[in-house]
A and B are shown apart, each in its own frame.
Chain A
Amino acid sequence: MTGGEGVVVENVCKSFSGAAGTVDVLQSVTMKLAGGEAVAIMGPSGSGKSTLLHLLGGLDRPTSGSIAIHGRRPAEMNPKELSLFRNRIIGFVFQDHHLLPQYSVLENVLLPAYALGRPPADAQGRARGLLEDVGLGHRLHHRPAELSGGERQRTAVARALMNGPRLLLCDEPTGSLDTANASAVGQLLLDMHRREGNILVVVTHNPDLAARFTRRFQLVEGRCSAA
């Protein structure tokens, strides 16, 4: 699978050095995800879930081991290639939605389309469509401060899908939502995954959300195992 579709993680280790010494956050993590697959990664706080997600998204580089996404290795890319890769291939949804407060909902969703300069002609149409899909068609020109927590996270989902990513990475997407909203957002992610056909990786503490995934991984003290 290394040269084909899917995600291949082999013996990935990640350490952080600090004043208190070196901390091994991930230890020889190995996993393989096929195209169109949806997985949940679970584990206690500090187990390295978000770190693994960042490595998958090319936001960070492993200390050792390799990660291949659809046959490409982000760790070997130069910054320009990496930016292009993230923009075209990866979609992120963070626990804290990280919407830009000075832009409207529609503009926030459009931002990934503008990352490389001139946006595609149909960018606005796609953004509006995605927002309709996530139930925010009536909130296009509102600012993030005027949205509820669930609405903000749905906006973040729409933004993550804007460029049609083949790998959607979600870091505690329901972490700061109430049960109802968390359930709704979880369902939205799965629905959109099915519609877009991408690989969905969700890091979560939420057992209800994890239960909706057919394949789950458990991370404990940096070591990954199938749950």
Chain B
Amino acid sequence: MEEVKSQNHGEISLAHCGVLFLDELPEFKKSVLEVLRGPLEDRIITISRIQASFSYPCNFMLIASMNPCPCGYYGSKEKECNCTQEQIKKYIGKISGPLLDRIDLHIEVSGVRYEKLRNQKKGETSEQIRERVDMARKIQQCRYKDNGIFSNAELTPKLIQEHCRIDDKSDKILEKAFEKLGLTARAFGRILKVARTIADLEQSEKIESMHVIEAIQYRSLDKKYWGN
């Protein structure tokens, strides 16, 4: 991924209708990462050159991974981190708040304990997971057939109001989370969309409070590492 000089499309347009995986996110140039903001929202990228400007579609799913600090052990229970505060701040600061705000699911992947590694019990197979995912997608396609969209990810603010209704209990939980985590207006819509998807995965018509709680949980990491 780099700043392209020609009129040719870049990685995000090549990832159109697919997944773009950026490993070691802070190692990318900051200017390159910040440029992702617009296309992530609009699903279209406009490249302006001297001769003309060109628009390319880029409806992609962004997956990124990073370490919490240069040594990789900040916040770990197993090993001590030997980075200075300054180093950590610089490393984490490469990912700006606005970019982070556009990522819906934040998770922390910790090391696997020995007992788990030795455990012979097999988890769910890809086939089983796929069945659930296919079902959830079908539900969405069915629900949005009159709206001209296919999935929860494409919901506009107006459609969120229509399709992501929550009860009073969930409303209270969200309100509390907002104060505690200092969430933005953008995050609000995104949490509702994620909650809608979790409900769809369970084939539940209504968004229950536990779906909202799970969705909020995926937004707590920015407070832990980025909140000062």
The answer to whether A and B come from one shared complex is: no
Binding site for B on A (CB under 8 A): none
Interface of B toward A, CB cutoff 8 Å: none
